[in-house]
Amino acid sequence: MAELTTLREGIADLVRDGDTVALEGFTHLIPTLAGHEIIRQRRRDLTLVRMTPDIVYDQMIGMGVARQLVFSWGGNPGVGSLHRMRDAVENGWPVPLEVDEHSHAGMANRYVAGASRLPFAVLRGYRGNDLAAQSDTIATITCPFTGDELSAVRAINPDVTVLHAQQADRDGNVQLWGILGVQKEAALAASRVLVTVEEIVDRLEPRPGAIRLPGWVVTAVAPVPGGAHPSYALDYSTRDNAFYQEWDAISRDREAFTAWMTEHVLDPAGAGR
């Protein structure tokens, strides 16, 4: 059964320097406050994996926790660029950042392979574009049955996957619903799984269409109400679109960004949430 813990202890126990870490959540249920705790605990040299880096990885990259980014779409949705990610890739600030860029279909299938404990997944993708040439995790293979040329993408098996979900019970069984993303795949592909939740409930009510992660595939659960902000948890909060728009100005400038992070993330008053 998963251990019930605090965010601070969960990150301290499960996320180590140099790890491959996936904070997943496709627009919905992004574990932003877990990202903040990783920043506060000064992890370094992480390989950050996420389909859509979003604000949480912009913040982590800007605070220097990452060495590599594995992703498929790195923008501020509907707003523009992720300025800290761009600055790291283009100018190496605050530290150089390697990237491994995939398509969404490729990344989703990499997680499927990881969860299936297969070395790679196969898809009809990447043909004729320039992505394969700059990535060592994309290759061409021939179907043994039809002779079709297909693309193989290497499995992703994170050292630790961090998710946010609506609910868990006291045995660490987790339930999440709404946009499902690659949550199940990212959890089952990982060696260790930390889930932050809106609330701990006595009993999880069965919900059609929800994802249930049994406590025996989860390492630890920490209650972190509001832990997805500015993303959201369906039926608990709504996406803070105004903040996504404000982030553009905050993150454009190195000093403004650092000041914002110091006040809102590093400041001890904000820690331990």
Partner 1 sequence: MSWTTDEMMTVAAARSLAGATTCFVGIGLPSTAANLARRTSNPGLVLIYESGTIGAKPEVLPLSIGDGELVETADTVVAVPEIFNYWLQGGRCDVGFLGAAQLDRFANINTTTIDRGEGRPPLRLPGAGGAPEIAAHAGTVLIVVRHSPRVFVERLSFVTSVGFGSGPDDRKRLDQPGSGPRRVITDLGVLEPDPETCELTLTALHPGVEVEQARQATGWPLRIADEFATTEAPTDDELAVLRDLQARTKEAHRARTA
Please list the residues that pair with 150 across neighbouring strands: 141
Min dist CB 4 to partner 1, Å, is: 27
Shortest Å, Cβ 20 to partner 1: 19
Instruction: Return the range that interacts with partner 1 (CB under 8 A); candidates 8-16, 180-188, 216-224, 257-265.
Output: 180-188
**What is the number of alpha carbons within 13 Å of residue 119 lying toward its C-beta?**
1
Note whether 120 binds partner 1 by CB under 8 A. Answer: no
User: Among candidates 198, 204, 106, which has minimal Cα distance to 150?
Assistant: 106
Taking the least distance from each CB to partner 1, the nearer of 29 and 218 is 29
With respect to partner 1, which residue has the nearer C-beta, 17 or 267?
267
Supply the minimum distance, in Å, between the C-beta of residue 186 and partner 1: 10
SS3 state of residue 134: helix
163: left (phi over 0), alpha (psi -120 to 50) or beta: beta
Q: How far is CA 267 from CA 33, 36, 38, 258, 273, in A?
A: 14, 11, 14, 12, 12
Work out which of 64, 94, 178, 223 binds partner 1, going by CB under 8 A: 178
Among 125, 172, 215, 227, binds partner 1 (CB under 8 A): 125
| Range in contact with partner 1 (rule: CB under 8 A) among 15-23, 161-169, 212-220, 232-240 | 232-240
Nearer CB in complex with partner 1: 67/104: 104
In 3D space, the residue among 24, 67, 70, 61 whose CA is nearest the CA of residue 46 turns out to be 67
Identify the residue among 185, 195, 224, 227 touching partner 1 (CB under 8 A). Answer: 185
Q: Which residues contact 64 (CB under 8 A, 6 or more apart)?
A: 44, 94, 95
- Cα–Cα distance measured from residue 97 to residue 118, given in angstroms and rounded to the nearest whole number: 28
Q: What's the residue count for the chain?
A: 273
Smallest distance, partner 1 to C-beta of residue 54, A: 9
- State yes or no: residue 208 binds partner 1 (CB under 8 A): no
CB of 239 to partner 1, least distance (A): 6
Positions in 7-66 near partner 1 (CB under 8 A): 26-28, 51-52
Instruction: From 207, 216, 222, select the one nearest 177 (Cα to Cα).
Output: 207
Looking at 21, 39, 108, 155, which residue binds partner 1 (CB under 8 A)? 108
Q: Which amino acid is at 269?
A: A
With CB under 8 A as the contact rule, the residue among 104, 170, 252, 273 that binds partner 1 is: 104
Burial of 247 (0-12, 13-18, 19+ CB in 10 A): buried
Among 40, 43, 50, 102, binds partner 1 (CB under 8 A): 102
Angle between helices 241-252 and 254-261 in degrees, nearest 10: 120
Contact status: 75 vs partner 1 (CB under 8 A): yes
Q: Which residues bind partner 1 (CB under 8 A)?
A: 26-28, 51-52, 71-75, 77-79, 81-82, 85-86, 89-91, 101-105, 108-109, 111-112, 123-131, 148-149, 178-185, 209, 229-230, 232, 234, 237-245
